Amino acid sequence: MLRLSALAPETTIMTSSPQPLNVLFLCTHNSARSILAEALLNAMAPGQFKAYSAGSSPRENQQPNPLGLQVLQNAGIPIEGLHSKSWDVFAGPDAPHMDLIITVCDNAAGEMCPVWPGRPATAHWGYPDPSEGSGSDAEKTEAFRQTLHAIKRRLELLCSLPAAKLAQAVLQSSARQLANT
């Protein structure tokens, strides 16, 4: 069983900015992988990163997958406030400025994305959809647990990046903003 205490990265990020870096995780429906990544990064690195999630085309009345929420709870990761939403929420002028946008499913990675305010750095971290499995409840839960572990490994690497690497992403974003002024 994955516990939150096992999630803390070994390296603490020291940035010159008191503001956390905003990271948006994108998937098609914003019900599984992106929700897992949002909750996990917020639990792993509060104050260093502020994670959000959204979907390119969430279904009407879309909700986070109950198995995903169960796996997060079993790992000791808070699920309060997690909800499915469209990526349009983050493309408007009043949206929080994103420093990094990561697609976590191949479908969302291949779609035409909105123009993000500030033109943040982007990356694609593809994971199989744990909600697509057809098996016993135990097998489906295990698929979510494995996805959570895979996301955790990459987030640990992100959290352990030296400040200069993180500052570079912020600098890239700032330089792009200056080009438009």
Type and span of the H or E element at 167: helix 163-179
* Residue 158 in tokens: 């992100």
Q: What is the pLDDT of residues 11-51, one digit of tens each?
A: 333 444 568 999 999 999 999 999 999 999 999 999 999 99
20-24, 27-31, 119-123, 152-156: which has the minimum mean pLDDT?
A: 119-123
Which pTM was predicted? 0.83
Domains (ranges, CATH) in the chain?
21-126+137-168 (3.40.50.2300)
CA-to-CA distance for 68 and 36, rounded, in angstroms?
A: 7
* Residue 30 backbone class (left: φ over 0; alpha: ψ -120 to 50; beta: rest): left
Q: What is the mean pLDDT of residues 126-134?
A: 89
Tell me what pLDDT residue 164 has.
77
Tell me what pLDDT residue 171 has.
59
